[in-house]
Every structure is written in structure tokens, then in C-alpha cells.
Chain A
Amino acid sequence: MNAGFFVSQLLQTVLAVSLAPLMLGWVNQCRAWLQNRTGAGVLQPYRLIIKLFHKDAVLAHNASWLFRFAPYTVFGCMVLAVSIVPILATDLPLSPVADLIALVGLFALARVFMALAAMDVGTAFGSLGARREMLVASLAEPALLMVFFTPALISQSTALTTIVETLAHRELTLYPSLAFAAVAFVMVLLAENARIPVDNPSTHLELTMIHEALLLEYSARHLALLEWAHALKLMTYTSIGIALFLPWGIAPAGQWAMMPLSVLAFLVKLLLAGAALALLEAVSAKMRIFRVPEFLGMAFLLAVLGMLTRLLLGSAG
């Protein structure tokens, strides 16, 4: 437990937290390009957040303490989540705090607070959003766990750092099972981060919105925090995906020399991932809410298939 740990931890956390809006901006920018629009620029999320911080918060008369408390909690959960995922190096003092399952739990915690807060004011849309959010989540969560189990089986561990160590820093082997898992993960990611085709982040059309409906009553700093947390969530998922499926380039324990390299690798991966995400969103259309279960069911199935292949092929899988 030398200072190095904490340095890398701090570095990673700060980096992730600060880059999260950028990532979101980048995705939106790519989407704009793909739709032949000149987008608002990759820095737009920052502007939005800062603007919101300056505003006065407006609360409904009957908003309870839960309503005001939720944004901070959600933000806190996300920050913690992102600082647990090994992004740059695998020696993180925080990583033993939560393994993959606990991470899922952490997301769930944030989500539940979000939903409860949305129901607090008692608006029609708030509860509608909460209901839909919980529905999607309750279907996505098992799929996500299944996704996680495949690499967990490979590396005999659910601790992310151990997984990364196994996948990245042993001799390079290709795991067909991971392919399944990866596809499933992407699907879950789309669902969990309120992206097309499950949800449309850029609409407030009451019939379709899920995630936005949760935020309706929020304003100013609370809204800012929630937006930021949203960006962080996307960030976290992406980096989990990276850690699980393209872990190469993450610095193994104690190798400070590799740190800059790993930062670079991370940025590149982020760019690619963002672009890919944008592409996905551009080519697919928003689906009806009751198609979502089928979508997630598919993801779930793929994940299970992945695990089974792993078990079938044994160490080669």
C-alpha cells in the first residue's frame, strides 16, 4: 500500500469524472455528423452543466428531502463506480471494495434513488418514468450479470482487476465466449444508458421517454449533477466494456512506465467506442416500450450462450 496506489486511483478518478461529459459530447457530435448536422460541439455538455450550476434551483412545493438528496447520491454512486473500474492501471486501492456483482448493485442503488425521487413529487410523468426505468433495469440487470459471468468464469474471479490481469497480461488467447458476451453487453449498455433503440435521450415526447421523464422536475444544480451522473454512467459502462473485452493496454500493477501509454490507449478506445455507439444509434430506430423485453431477452440469451460456450469449450472457450 504505497502512495502509488492512491496516485493512480486519484488520477483515474479525476480523469474519468472530468472526461465523462466529453465522452457524451463526442457521442452526440458523432451522431450529428452521421445525420449531416453540424453538432453543438463536443464541449456542449460542459456548457450545459455549468449553466445549470449557476441557476437557482426550483423545487415543487411538496418535494421532500428525498428529492433533494437523490442527485447527490446518484452522483456519488457513479463517481464511486467509475473509480472502481480499472481504466488505467489494475492496482487500485478501491477495486477490492466492489467486484462486478457489487458494481451492479451500485448501479441499482443509484437507479432506485433516481426512481424514488421521480415519484416523490407525484407527477404523472415522474411515476411513468420511474416505472419504465425500473422495468428496463429489472430486465437488464440479469442480462448484465450473465454477461459478467462469462469473463468471471474465464478468470475464476468476479474482481475486475483480476479479470483484467488474466485477460490482458497472460499470453493472448481469443475467447469465442467473450464475443457473445460482448454483443450482449453492448445491448445492455444501450438499454441502461437510455440510448436508442431503447430510449431516446434527445426527446421529451411523453410517450417514448424513459430516462428524461425521471429528470422532469429537476432543475439547476440538481439537474446538473444528474446529467453529469448520466454521463458518468455511460463512461463507466464503456470502461467496463473496455476492461472486459479490450483490456489490452491497461497498466499492470506497479508499472508506472506504462501509465502514459495506458492513458493514451484509453482515450483512443473511448473515441472508438463513442463513434461506434453513435453509429449504432444512427442506424437503429427507437422501439416500442414493449419490444424492450424482447430486446433484453435476446441480450440475456446471448450472454447465457456465451457462458455455455465457455463451459462447453472449457479452457479454450
Chain B
Amino acid sequence: MSSFDVVLAVPLCWIAVGLFGLSSRASRAQHARIFFPLGALGGLLLMAAAYPALSGEPHSLVLPLGLPDLRFHVRLDSLAAFFLVLLGAVSAGVSLYSAGYFDKGGGGQIRLVCFQYHVFLASMALVLLADDAYLFMVAWETMALASYFLVTTDHDIAQIRSAGLLYLIVAHIGATVILLCFGILQLGEWSYTFDAMRHNTLAAGWASAAFLLALFGFGAKAGFLPVHVWLPEAHPAAPSPISALMSGVMLKSAVYGLLRVTFDLLHLQLWWWGVVALSLGLLSALFGALFAAVQTDMKRLLAYSSIENLGIILAGVGLTVLFHSYDMNALAALALAATLYHCLNHALFKSLLFIVTGSVMHATGHRSLGKLGGLIRFMPRVAAAGLVGTLAIAGLPPLNGFASEWMLLQAFLLSPSLPNSYLSMLVPVATAALALAVAMAGYVMVKFYGVVFLGLPREELARAHDPDPWEQAGLLWLALWCVVLGLAPMALISATDPIASALVGAAIRDSVQGSSWLFLTAIRPERASYSALLLLAGIVLTVAMTFLLVRRLYHGRVRRSAPWDCGFAPLDARMQDTAEGFGQPIKQIFEPFFKLERSQPSPFDARPLYRSRIEDRIWYWLYVPVMRAVEWLSSLIGILHHGRIHLYLIYSFATLLVLLLLIQ
């Protein structure tokens, strides 16, 4: 039983679990307790089996399914293996969590949820394993479909229905575009396998078309501008574990697809592709950060932050293309490594944060930041996990978020060595945008954590308490990986070596010489180096020393009293900053970016009322006009079907004459 077999077996097991779940008549609690842990087990297996495949020959296999002349081809190479590890790691945590989450209700009939959940997992695994366009598309759309049904679990709420609808429409259009991209890549006559595509040499024009189609199609799934609109709607609508999987893994499958097409299936890369991807990525990153900063719903906030992180990842991809198109492969490898690593990190901390919000919602029944607060005292464990996630996503050392961003910035810093002078000047500026986005993320996450867990509860939340062991296990698992990957980045980055050598023809080893398990370096140690472990050690050491010294030299006496607060009147929760208030400066500074509706109270109002609504300009610039156009056309076309039989006869008469004259 090779690791390949295991990897293939896991999706099947997931489907089986789903089917059993669908057919079983167990009670809700039993159901959750039995099937989701099984799913988690599958995740662990997948992770364990895929990791060795990172380094090692690609295995491939042809299944006796699919179209007659186009059987399902599966292939496990290092790139797929990496994302499979990602999937396994995240799904293990989330499934554990779900075992606790779904037995408390909060989402339709558990049997359906269980089925769709596991089909969702399996389809994601198959997307990564697919080695021909057909299986890929089947898995891809199944993924979309399963997630759609999961998003609309509570479909009695109109808002959730419309969110799901928007999601599925965008997803399907994206999928069709990807399909066209494969249409360009294939050689005709049933040669749809990726293997055939690899040997297909396209003209630059066609290749560019394919790349742009792929960028659009996969972007629609990853939530790049301007096809991001579904994301902040769908993520909050879904049950939290689902949001976690969607944000954590599904978006990454889009990144995988983009990488697969750009570096594996297309035989050439042009520099301007890189520029397009880079600028699009940075735009998305800034956009996501800004909008996240002004959200008042914690899941929306996280959704926008997903847009931001995916933007960063896309920028990384763009940089890789840029370097690779100029044959600066070592640098390309560095950028690629950073990108992949950020994928993994984002998967972990974002899903962690999403399930944290799940626990919070279950404990308090609220998801609006305006109602929460002070939970660190009611649910300390969740708060601790949340803190890890927050620090990680805010890109703070020594956690994993920082490691990948550090590498990415290093890669950006190397860009001046590009031969094209425009690029070498523009890319540093792009770096600034990236830096701004990262800094914004810090702002956003302080807002998130501070408003949810710190301060005083803004509503009565006394019944809030830590969740059951299953949920805690899930939280622990993901938080643990955030820390581990933060402290020992090199371990995994060096493991991704084969990917870089396969895709950009240079091993990361070349781009990070002299780095050890302890030190993460870029190019040369003296060029730049960073060691999270020592950093942490240093901090811990100093903290410990200071603590002891203070205790020894002085004392540790503590008195409790009411907060001082500049000697104001006794405090109440309403005096704190709300999420609204916390976002206000951003709103004010970056006002042009938002479509803002505000009604401010006048000083003389009996009951002063402040209302403000933030909307997405892109929606009004792009989507509304398109919808209008379609409406207009269809209202126009209505005249065709006018009801008068003479008219219909004239149609067919005219058609006849036109055709007759046509063929003359």
C-alpha cells in the first residue's frame, strides 16, 4: 500500500463516510460524534501520506471512469502533494471541530450537511489529484456545488439564499472560463490530459489568452478583484466550519489551479503576465485590508481579510512569473516558496479564526461585533487560540504569518535586479503597497480581537463559556500548527524544494543558501536572515529575567480596584469603542475608496442616531451595469414573442427568403 494508494483512498473514504452519514438514522449528536471524527482521521491520513510525496517521483494512474476516450487521469506530484498536505492538515482540524459544532444544531439536517461536507472534502482532493481537464472540471464544479449547498444550509433566511445564489453564479461563470482556458490548451481530438497539454507549444497570443482566462477563472474562485463580490457574502452565510474550509482550502485550490496552468501546462511565461498578476494581487490586497477595517460583522471582516491574503498570494505568483520570465530562476524559486508558504499559513490561521468565530457565535448567539466583548474572561481557551490566530494573521513574529511575508518582502527587494528598468523601479513601489496592506492587516486584527475578546461585553453574554472538547481539539490542532510553522519555517520550505525545481527550474536551496533549521535566509545569510526560534527565545528570556528581577528586587503586590479611566464616572460598556468607531479613521482617510452612506445626528436630536453603510464601488461600476444591460436586452427581446400568429408566420417566411437569397 504505497502512499499514493492512500492518497487516492482518502477521497473515496470521504465519499463513503458521506454516504453512510446520509443513510444513517443516528441521532444528531451521535451522528456528529461518529462521522466527522472519521473525516478528521481521513484528513490526518491524507496529510501523512501526501507529505512524503512532496519529494519523490510523480505517480499517475488512469481510472476506469470518465468519458470513453477520456478516462479519469490522476497524478500525484510535488505541487499537488503540497496542497494535499494543506487540505489534510486543515480538514483534520476543522472536522474535529465540526464534531462538536454540528451536534448543537446550527445548520439544517445533519445528514445532508455531513454528506455535502465530505463530498466537498473529496472534491477538493480530486481537484488537486486530477491530471486531465475533464476530471479537473468535474471535481472543480462538484466542489462549487457542494459548497453552495453547504452555504445555503440555513436557506430559510433570504439573505443566505441570495448569498448562495451570487456565489454559485460567479463560481459557474469562473468555471466556464477555466473550461475555455483548457479548450485553448488541448490539442483537439480527445487529448485533454494535462500530459498532452504539457507537450503542447502554443503561440504567444494563444498562451496569453490561456493565462488571462485562467487568471479570471481561478480568480473568480480565489476572490481576486473584480470578481470578489461573492466572497464577503458567502463566507458569513455559511456555517463556521464551512467558512473555514472555504476560506482556508477552497481558495487555495484556485491558487493551485493558477500555478498548475501557468507554470506546468503553459510552456512559456511572458513578463507582462507577471505585471498583470502583481498589480491585480496588490489591488486585491489593499482593497481587502481597507474593507476589512470597516466591517462590523466578524465573519465579513475575516472574509475581506481573505481577499487581502489571496491578493498577497497572487502578488507572489506574479512576482514568480516576472522572475521566471527573465530566467532569474533562483529568485523565482524564492518568490514561489514564499507564495506557497503563505498559502499554507493563511489556510491554517484563517480557518482557525473562522472556527473561533463559530465558537463565539455558538456561545453568545451574536456575530455582530457591536454586541460582543470581554469574552477572554468567559472563554479563555478560545481566546487563547484566537490570540494565536490574530498574531499570526497580523503578520507578527515569531508566528507563521510573518515568516511567509518576510520571505515575500525579501523577494520583492530583489526585484531591482530585473533587466527591465521600468519594472525594477515599479516593483519596489509595489512593495510599498504590500507593506501597507500588511500593516493594515495588523490594524484589522487588533480591532477584531480587541472588540471580540477584550473590554467589557457590549450585551449580556454571561452564559458564554468554553466549547466542548471536540471543538477545543480542533482549535488546538490548528493553533499548534500556526506556532510550529512560525518557529521552524525552514523545515517545510526546504521540503517544497521539488516543487520549485519542477515549476521554475531552480531549487529553493539555491535561493536560500546557508539557511538551517534555525535560520531562514534569502540568497545569502549575510544578505538577510531571520530566526523565529531565537527571536522567541530572546523575548521569553528577557521577559523571564525581567519578571524575576522585578520580583526579587521589588515585590509582586497587586491591588484590584475600579478602572481609573482619567477619573471619569463609573464605566459602562457603551463607553468603549465599537467596531464602527474603530474603523472610523480608516473610513475617513480612505473615503474615496468606499461607497459610503452616512446619516449623522444633529446636536439637537432628541435621540441622536448615527447610521453608516459601506458599499463596494466595484459592484456599482461593473456588476450593476451588466445586469442592467441584460435586463434591457431581455425586455427588448420580449417583443419577438408578440403573440400574433401573423408575425410568427412572417418570421419563418423572412427566414426562408433570407436563407434562399443567402445560398444563391
Residues of A within 8 A of B (CB): 53-54, 56-64, 66, 72-73, 75-77, 79-80, 83, 94, 96-99, 101-102, 105-106, 108-109, 111-112, 115-116, 119-128, 130-132, 134-135, 137-139, 141-142, 145-146, 149, 152-153, 156-159, 161-162, 204, 206, 216-217, 221, 225, 289-290, 293, 300, 304, 307-308, 311-312
Contact = CB atoms under 8 A, between A and B. Distances in A.
B375 to A, nearest CB: 10
B156 interface: no
7 contacts: A66-B387, A76-B540, A98-B397, A98-B535, A108-B396, A122-B573, A156-B527
B565 interface: yes
Interface string B494-534: 00000000000000000000000001001001111111001
B7 to A, nearest CB: 36
Given A54-B554, A102-B535, A161-B526, 7 more contacts: A56-B555, A61-B562, A77-B539, A105-B395, A134-B442, A137-B443, A311-B416
The 10 closest A-B pairs by CB, nearest first: A122-B455, A127-B577, A119-B450, A60-B563, A142-B435, A122-B456, A141-B439, A76-B542, A123-B565, A138-B439
A60 B397 contact: no
B664 interface: no
Contact of A159 (B402, B435, B528, B547): B528
B270 interface: no
Contacts of B596: none
A105 B402 contact: yes
B446 A72 contact: no
Contacts of B428: 146, 149, 153, 304, 307-308, 311
B546 interface: yes
Contacts of B394: 108, 112
Contact of A97 (B451, B534, B553): B534
A252 to B, nearest CB: 14
A53 B442 CA distance: 32
A216 B554 contact: no
Nearest to B451: A119
A116 B446 contact: yes
A32 B182 CA distance: 73
Contacts of B107: none
A217 B562 contact: no
Contacts of B402: 102, 105
B138 interface: no
B431 A149 contact: yes
B558 interface: yes
A97 B531 CA distance: 5
A112 B409 CA distance: 21
Given A73-B543, A109-B397, A135-B443, A124 B409 contact: no
A94 B564 CA distance: 40
B575 A97 contact: no
Nearest to B438: A141
A109 B540 CA distance: 13
Given A106-B397, A127-B577, A216 B565 contact: yes
B528 A300 contact: no
Interface in B385-426: 387, 391, 394-397, 402, 406, 409-410, 413, 416, 421, 424-425
B70 interface: no
B530 A97 contact: yes
A131 B577 contact: yes
Contacts of A96: 519, 525, 529, 531
Nearest to B565: A123
A272 B440 CA distance: 34
Interface of B: 373-374, 376-377, 387, 391, 394-397, 402, 406, 409-410, 413, 416, 421, 424-425, 428-429, 431-432, 435-436, 438-440, 442-443, 445-447, 449-451, 454-456, 519, 522, 525-531, 534-535, 538-543, 546-547, 550, 553-566, 568, 571, 573, 575-577, 581-582, 585-586, 588-589
A76 B402 CA distance: 19
A96 B535 CA distance: 10
A127 B450 contact: yes
A99 B543 contact: no
A43 to B, nearest CB: 19
Contacts of B526: 157, 159, 161-162
B538 A131 contact: no
A314 B373 CA distance: 53
Given A109-B397, A138-B440, A75 B546 contact: yes
A77 to B, nearest CB: 6
Contacts of B432: 142, 145-146, 300, 304
B409 A101 contact: yes
B293 to A, nearest CB: 9
Given A108-B442, A308-B425, A101 B406 contact: yes
B528 A99 contact: yes
A80 B398 CA distance: 13
Given A62-B374, A105-B406, A122-B374, A131 B585 contact: yes
A170 to B, nearest CB: 14
A59 B528 contact: no
Contact of B577 (A80, A101, A128, A159): A128
A72 B658 CA distance: 87
A146 B427 CA distance: 12
- Which of A63, A94, A101 neighbours the largest number of chain B CB atoms within 10 Å of its CB? A101
A65 to B, nearest CB: 8
Nearest to B588: A290
A177 to B, nearest CB: 12
Contact of A130 (B446, B528, B563): B446
B442 A102 contact: no
A80 B543 CA distance: 10
B566 A159 contact: no
A62 B559 contact: no
A145 B430 CA distance: 12
A157 B538 contact: no
A64 B376 contact: yes
A104 B464 CA distance: 37
Contacts of A59: 558-561
B396 A53 contact: no
Contacts of A97: 529-531, 534-535, 538
B439 A206 contact: no
Contact of B424 (A126, A225, A311): A311
- Which of B440, B559, B565 neighbours the largest number of chain A CB atoms within 10 Å of its CB? B565
B371 to A, nearest CB: 14
Given A96-B519, A109-B397, A300-B432, A119 B455 contact: yes
Contact of A56 (B446, B449, B557): B557
Nearest to B402: A105
Nearest to B455: A122
B440 A158 contact: no
B373 to A, nearest CB: 7
Given A112-B442, A308-B425, A56 B454 contact: no
Given A61-B560, A75-B542, A127-B576, A101 B585 contact: no
A145 B412 CA distance: 12
A138 B553 CA distance: 37
B568 A124 contact: yes
Contacts of B447: 131, 134
A74 B193 CA distance: 56
Contacts of B585: 131-132, 135, 289-290
Contact of B435 (A98, A116, A131, A141): A141
